[in-house]
Amino acid sequence: MGGEVSKSPEPSPFLDTPWREINWSDKQSALQYVKNYKPHIEGRQLRILLHGPTGAGKSSFINSVRSVLKGRMCALALADNTFGDSFTKTYTTYKIEKETPNTFHPFVFNDIMGLSKDKGVLVDDIKLALKGHVKENYKFNPESKLSEGDQFYNATVNPNDTVDVLVCVIPANNISLMPVETVQKIKEIRTAASQLGIPQVAILTKIDHCLEIKDLKIVYKSADMKEKMEQFSADVGIPMNCIFPVKSYSEEIDLNNDTDSLILSALKHIINFGEDSMNHKMNQAEDSHGYA
């Protein structure tokens, strides 16, 4: 007589130990690090350009950063939770106020129209933005790129106009569903940034839509999240240590320490990468001038 065939237990979706460490109990150190940041180059500000598919949460990430730094819920960039056409239509620079009135942190975010398979921002316009040629309030045209001679084309570029760090914002729950055309655009933008010496970071948003347990502390124990990050890294070429999962604020009315910790972890690395890039470009310019 045969007995029942025993079934192997389902593998756990979570690892025994986290594959990346984060100090969940010391948000204050990361917060103070960001608040104390000052570029080593006098008069410079760090410019962070966000790009990614429509509905990825670029504006929500900017709002979340501002909320964390202000210590209360804030809305600076207009955000929309619906999918479809990009909510952001113009080239917009966002400054974040310090505690002292009329003073700002020395880094700014630029939000742009989202990428899509057939419409959205043109890759050529993003390349121009990287070089500092796009003026504030330029309205993106999915049919025609910005050209020299246009009133929104910045012909005289100063160092503060150029991008210091490029951030690709991707919804973690839709990585495998991204059209091939959108992935190709991201790769083309990444190549252009690399040729300019601009470091690239990826922010994976909406991670709470992926995790089986609604506890952000297990994000680095999630085998699924690690697999998603590895897939995106392989698809576009951004290294794993430059990819950061976050949850942006959307429906909450109060801040949460775990949400803040992930946002600050990402922001701290963005600032460090941008500062290194800024200093490297200055050294190159000085060397070039010295040999001229």
pLDDT tens digit sequence for 213-232: 578 999 999 998 999 999 99
pLDDT at 86: 47
Whether residue 157 contacts residue 132, with contact meaning beta carbons closer than 8 Å, is answered with yes
137: left (phi over 0), alpha (psi -120 to 50) or beta: left
* Average confidence (pLDDT) over 105-113: 95
Sheet holding 165-171, edge to edge: 92-94, 107-111, 46-51, 165-171, 200-205, 243-245
Beta bridge partners of 93: 110
Nearest of 99, 147, 132 to residue 198 by alpha carbon: 132
Question: Amino acid identity, residue 177?
Answer: L
Q: Out of 61-65, 109-113, 118-122, which region has the weakest mean confidence (pLDDT)?
A: 118-122
Q: How far apart are CA 48 and CA 266, in angstroms?
A: 13
Q: Are 228 and 211 in contact (CB under 8 A)?
A: no
Alpha carbon dihedral 223, 225, 226, 230, in 10-degree steps, equals: 130
Mean per-residue pLDDT, 182-198: 96
What's the pLDDT score for residue 289? 61
% of the chain at pLDDT higher than 90: 72
* CATH homologous superfamily for the domain 43-291: P-loop containing nucleotide triphosphate hydrolases (3.40.50.300)
Q: How many residues does the chain have?
A: 292
pLDDT over threshold 80, residue 87: no
Question: In the prediction, which pLDDT does 237 show?
Answer: 95
The yes-or-no verdict on residue 115 having pLDDT over 90 is yes
Q: Burial of 188 by CB count in 10 Å (0-12 exposed, 13-18 middle, 19+ buried)?
A: middle
